[in-house]
Amino acid sequence: MRKLDSIIVHCSFTKPMQDIGAREIREWHLERGWSDIGYHYVIRRDGGVEIGRDIRRPGAHARGHNSRSIGICLVGGMSPSGDPVANYTDDQMDSLFFVIGILIETINPMRVIGHNDVSKKPCPCFNVAEWFNIGR
């Protein structure tokens, strides 16, 4: 297994009515010339968790952090008018908390952060570390 130090939460930057999953995101990333989907997990609007890239392989989700992190993508993050917004469902947030808990228990990465903590992008449109620590 790779040496991991963080879980990085992302968003698909799609509108709430766009209920996409790992298959669609994989297609988008392959169209960009990537070898596979960039995220290790995708959490759909209904809270369903889908497997993306094999966790033993570095992701393609956070430049400079891929080799030592796990990427989780929440579907959503865009308002109907196209602005960044944390419009995730309660089911998604429950699933995110559950997946992170399992990963910490089994792999023990040290940090839980958002893409916005390592990039100038708004993704995932909320403070992940604060949210996670409040829920613990």
Q: Which residues are catalytic?
A: 10, 39, 115, 121, 123
- At position 20, the amino acid (one-letter code) is I
Cα–Cα distance measured from residue 105 to residue 8, given in angstroms and rounded to the nearest whole number: 16
- CA-CA distances (angstroms) from residue 113 to 11, 19, 33, 65? 13, 24, 27, 12
CB 115, CB 60: distance < 8 Å: no
